[in-house]
Structure formats: C-alpha cells, structure tokens
Amino acid sequence: MAILKIARMGHPVLAAPARPVEDPTAPGIRRLVSDMLETMQDAGGTGLAAPQVHVPLRLAIFFVSGPRAAREDGEGGRGEDKNVPLTVLCNPTIEPLDREMAMGWEACLSLPGLAGEVPRYTSIRYRGVTPTGEELVREANGYHARVVQHEFDHLDGILFPQRMRDMKKLVFTSEMKHLAAAGEALAEIED
Ligand code: NI
C-alpha cells in the first residue's frame, strides 16, 4: 500500500483519453486499486480515477455515503441511491436514461481549493468490469449519478470546468460562504 501523488490540472495525464485495462484481474491492477483506495482515503475524496494518480488507464473507484447522498439529493432523493459501497470499475461506459440535467457543485482532488457548478444527467445507467472480472451494471440517480459522471469524465481527459456553463460559478471553496449568503447550495463532490 502506498499513498500516490495526485496529478493537478495542467498535467497532460489529466487531459488525454486513458487506455483500456487489458486484464482487470491482473495483480498489477489489484495493487493499483489498493494504492488508489489508500490515496483517496488520505485525501478525503469520494472517488478517484487512475489518471489522477498518473496512470493513464480506464479505471475508477468511488463510493457514496448514505448521509452525504441524502444531504445532496434532499427530500426528493431516491432511496436506492442513498448508499453505494466502494466500487472499482475498469473500462466503464455510461448512458443517460433521461435528457434531464441538473446543476450541482463539484470539487476535484486535481483542482485543490476550487469548486464549480456543473450540469450532469440526473439519471444514468453505467457498466464496467470489476477486478474479479465480473461485469457490473447499475442505474444511478442524483448525487450517485453525478459522482459517476465526474469520475468517468477523468478517463476521457475531461475535468469538471470543461463541463461548466458559467465560469463565474468557478470559485475557491474558501469563498463559497458568499454564495451561501446568496442562497446557493454548498454541496460539493471532493474527487
Ligand atoms: Ni475529479
């Protein structure tokens, strides 16, 4: 186990599409996942993609805590998405189940100190291969869907500011109190 260095915006590894994982069950992948988990926990993130630790492979890890999802989704949140256990996916794909998008605040370990308001599909289906070689298929809504879209974007070299519609909504987290005064949501994803 090792804590890996996290690439920050501007490093080319974050801007290029990552390569497919040839064998998700390979010992090298298991070691990488173990190190990514330790790195994510150390950094306090809810997700981490391999390019963020300078490994250009299509692999991401994430989880959603029940209380966090409940806070982000509010009363309208859907019960099945409240708790998502730690998930490791290789070569994932994603399809929107609805054209509806919602705005929400996100942050990223590769853009430390910043947060932005990002549109994301509210309802998706995603699939990928786990490190035991099984295919996983899930449907996700709300905050869960947002986390997945953010993580999988990393595999295509996309960072959250590139999804933003209004760059005035790219702010330092330390200044978000001013948005709170304006009635803005303070929700954010740290990954
Ligand atoms: Ni990120």
Q: pLDDT tens across 131-141, in order? A: 999 999 999 99
Ligand 1 center from residue 96 Cα (angstroms):
20
Residues 6+ positions from 22 with CB-CB distance below 8 Å: none
Q: CB–CB of 10/48 below 8 Å?
A: no
Using the Cα atoms of residue 13, residue 134, residue 122 and residue 61 in order, give the sign of their dihedral. Answer: negative
pLDDT of amino acid 48? 98
Using the structure block, give the residue that is written with the tokens 């990002």: 118
Catalytic annotation, pick one of 151, 175, 188, 190: 151
- Please choose, from the candidates 2, 5, 3, the residue with its C-alpha nearest in 3D space to the C-alpha of residue 13: 5
Is 154 within 8 Å of 189 (Cβ atoms)? no
On whether the CB atoms of residues 17 and 157 are closer than 8 A, the answer is: yes
Please report the pLDDT score of residue 177 as a whole number: 85
Segment holding 103, helix H or strand E? strand 101-107
**Per-residue confidence band for 181, with pLDDT thresholds at 50, 70 and 90:** low
What confidence tens digit (pLDDT) does each residue in 33-89 have?
999 999 999 999 999 999 999 999 999 999 998 777 777 787 555 554 578 999 999
CA of 181 to the centre of ligand 1 (A): 26
Structure tokens at 187: 């929700």
Instruction: Report whether pLDDT(149) > 70.
Output: yes
Residue 27 has pLDDT above 90, yes or no: yes
Q: Was domain 12-98+122-159 assigned CATH 3.90.45.10? A: yes
- Across 69-73, 107-111, 121-125, 181-185, least confident range: 181-185
Cα(74) to centroid(ligand 1), Å: 23
Alpha carbon of 184 to those of 116, 176, 180, 187, 188: distances in Å?
12, 9, 5, 9, 12
The answer to pTM > 0.95 is no
Distance CA 19, CA 81 (A): 29
Please return the burial class of 150, using the count of CB atoms within 10 Å of its CB with bins 0-12, 13-18 and 19+: buried
Distance 152 CA to ligand 1 centre (A): 9
Measured CA to CA, the distance from residue 69 to residue 173 in angstroms comes to 20
Q: How far is the CA of 48 from the centre of ligand 1 (A)?
A: 7
151: annotated active-site residue: yes
Q: Please say whether the beta carbons of 136 and 130 come within 8 A.
A: yes
Contact present, 116 and 171 (Cβ < 8 Å): yes
Q: How much is the average pLDDT of 140-152? A: 97
